[in-house]
Structure 1
Amino acid sequence: MKYGQGRNVQETGPQKRRLKTKPLLVLIGILLASNILWFVGWLTPDKSKQPDEEVASVAGEAITRAQWMTAMEKEVGREVLLDLVNNKVMETAAKKYGIKVTDEEIELELALITSVDGRSHSGLDIEQTRQKIRSNLILEKVLSNDVVIDDATVKSFYEKNESLYNILTAYRTSIITVPTKEEAEQAVDELSKGSSFDALAKELSTDLASASLGGDIGYINAETETIDPAIYKAASKQKEGKDGDVVELQDGTYAIILVNEVVEGRAFSYDEVKEHIRRELAIEQLPQSVSPEAFWKEFDAKWFYGK
């Protein structure tokens, strides 16, 4: 199956380009579906339990395990299954077309994405994030296989946009925000006694967007404009995996900060990013965006929801 005819693409002018947005949106959608999958897995009880087991009751009327699982399937089942099928389709495509994705490529994509929109990763397991980046790379490599971008165009793009590949250090950060210093200190005390940061954030944090994700606000760096500067300042001084001290925010509230992962900043050389750029430019030449579903017929993919 071919989605583009082979052709040489010359540079169209000196206009400064940004990193692509459509593939990033595809990745964000895939990552969101992954997060739903994790959530369902977390909620799914022991398989040895009986479907008619009572999991709750209201006014003496039971809600059974079967009712609960059916409701969850209706709520998120389609999206979760779609994610599973698409991941399998992409792995099958990789085998058929001889697509290889290295750890170095995944780390490069992670660094570049965190520099553009690190908050799109919030609420996701770190390893799941890398797995979804891998799936997206397979899709991009298959789609761009027939589009030829000459070396001069790639080199010119790099020279005009070299600053895009000077990546700042990013911190995968979680926060708990509370109204007073006393409440913050109490939260720190609970953490020191073994309480879960994730659980406390859901219970206590007044930042509702991150509270629902266990306090996770994704990757932040020195140029992240959507967070209080005090959060980045504190995160940049913390050790990975360690809770920090209480930090006062600009609005008068207080926060406790946890740094889950540090992605060290670096300047990527032309040789390190040339294939990434070539793929980016090739994707831009495609007449329309293509999702993994376009490969379902080729690989005889079928699912519970029919066509």
Structure 2
Amino acid sequence: MSKKLLLSIIVVLLITNVATMLLWRNDQSNESALDDETIDTDKPVASIGGKDISYTDWMKALKSNYGENQLKSMVDQQVVKTLAKQNGITVSDKVIKRDIALLTTMQGVTSETKLKELEQKWTEDITYRYQLEALLAKDITVSDDEVQTYYTKYDGQYQFNESVQLSHILVSDMETAEKVYSELEDGATFSLLAKEYSIDEATKDNGGYLGFNSVDTEFLPDNYFDIVEGLEEYSYSEPFVTTNGIAILYLHKSLPEITFTFDELKPYIRNELALQASNQNLIADRLWDELDIKWIYGE
């Protein structure tokens, strides 16, 4: 398996974990209105065709189906946090920003508020992942030569290229472009105007969305990036001439370049190589033995 593919799988697994945690948190937020004061535990929590589901049966089902896994996840988080503090293990802000940037590029169009919420949760999960790696790898020997060789070969996969998230409306003449721009200025929605006016068949049905593009991409006209430099996030440009027609750009998100030196990446590569060499899964189970843990599902 190539290292690039392996990195992609790791990122996908991280996203899956993040999504699961977000869904759980969402469920918790929905349940927050149902506190002890609003639920009469002596009455059924649901009734279907005269057949009742009691509060007790509901609680038993929750504990049986979700309780152990959720409690274990909470214990894992606290175990890693506690041991990381004891061992002085921290995660570089720069590494966290790089991983957040990677995760951001895998999002579709996201509001500024929602993205900030995601970034906060991602920060927690990224920190947990790297601290767990460091704890599992701390007693495994990896030579500096091995780390240097790996870095020399795969350096590029750890760097992040400047990227922008764009949508566009492409029309055939300036008169139409000015009409579209006027409607934007009057408060019309960019994506709806793209569906109505854009001649780019590949993107119009998706509101003109172009996704995230690295600034060295060959798939967009060069002057798109010249225009982007003058835009703020969540804003649109005036009409401008391109090789394909007249365009109006919308900049959703701009992500700066993030690059690392060998010394900055060395501890993270060392941990990765250590776990590969020992064929360890990225789970916290064996760390439980280092702390005095008691929980309702056993010792």
Give the TM-score of the pair, scaled to structure 1.
0.56
Alignment-derived partner of residue 155 in structure 2: 162
Alignment-derived partner of residue 86 in structure 1: 76
Alpha-carbon separation, structure 2, partners of 1:171 and 1:39: 29
Alignment-derived partner of residue 200 in structure 1: none
Alignment-derived partner of residue 272 in structure 1: 264
Higher Cα Rg, which structure: 2
Give the drift of 1:277: 1.9
Which of 87, 92, 96 is the matching residue for 1:97?
87
Letter in 1 for 2:266: K
Give the drift of 1:160: 2.1
Alignment-derived partner of residue 18 in structure 2: 31
Report if the CA contact (8 A) 1:154-1:277 is conserved: yes
Alpha-carbon separation, structure 1, partners of 2:294 and 2:188: 49
Structure 2 CA distance for partners of 1:62 and 1:290, relative to 1, 3 Å? same
Per the alignment, in what secondary structure is the counterpart of residue 38 of structure 1? helix
Structure 2 CA distance for partners of 1:150 and 1:59, relative to 1, 3 Å? closer
Which of 263, 275, 288 is the matching residue for 2:280?
288
- 1:118-267 map, 5 Å: 118-119=105-106, 125-170=118-163, 220-222=212-214, 239-240=232-233, 242=234, 259=252, 262-267=254-259
Considering Cα pairs closer than 8 Å and 6+ residues apart, tell me whether 1 or 2 has the greater RCO. 1
Partner deviation per Cα, 1:232-289 (whole Å, 9 max, x = no partner)? x89x78743x3769xxxxxxxxxxx884x64322332323322222222222111331
Letter in 1 for 2:118: D
Per the alignment, in what secondary structure is the counterpart of residue 40 of structure 2? coil
Alignment-derived partner of residue 52 in structure 1: 40
Structure 2 CA distance for partners of 1:34 and 1:50, relative to 1, 3 Å? same
Report if the CA contact (8 A) 1:30-1:83 is conserved: no
Give the drift of 1:29: 4.8
Per the alignment, in what secondary structure is the counterpart of residue 267 of structure 1? coil
Residue 18 of structure 1 pairs with residue 8 of structure 2? no
Quick one: percent identity of the two aligned structures? 22
Structure 2 CA distance for partners of 1:263 and 1:72, relative to 1, 3 Å? farther
Give the drift of 1:139: 0.6
Alpha-carbon separation, structure 1, partners of 2:236 and 2:49: 46
Residue 41 of structure 1 pairs with residue 19 of structure 2? no
Report if the CA contact (8 A) 2:165-2:213 is conserved: no
Greater percentage in helix? 2
Alpha-carbon separation, structure 2, partners of 1:24 and 1:81: 24
Alignment-derived partner of residue 293 in structure 2: 301
Give the drift of 1:290: 4.2
Q: Which runs of 5+ in 2 are unaligned?
A: 168-182, 191-204, 238-249
Partner deviation per Cα, 1:31-83 (whole Å, 9 max, x = no partner)? 23321332123202333642129999889979999589749946655444333
Structure 2 CA distance for partners of 1:82 and 1:26, relative to 1, 3 Å? farther
Report if the CA contact (8 A) 2:45-2:55 is conserved: no
Letter in 2 for 1:104: K
Report if the CA contact (8 A) 2:133-2:275 is conserved: yes
Letter in 2 for 1:263: L
The count of corresponding residues between Structure 1 and Structure 2 is: 238
Alpha-carbon separation, structure 1, partners of 2:128 and 2:155: 26
Structure 2 CA distance for partners of 1:269 and 1:157, relative to 1, 3 Å? same
Structure 2 CA distance for partners of 1:51 and 1:126, relative to 1, 3 Å? same
Q: Choose 97-106 or 273-282, whichever is displaced more.
A: 97-106
Report if the CA contact (8 A) 1:167-1:266 is conserved: yes
Structure 2 CA distance for partners of 1:288 and 1:69, relative to 1, 3 Å? same
Report if the CA contact (8 A) 1:36-1:76 is conserved: no
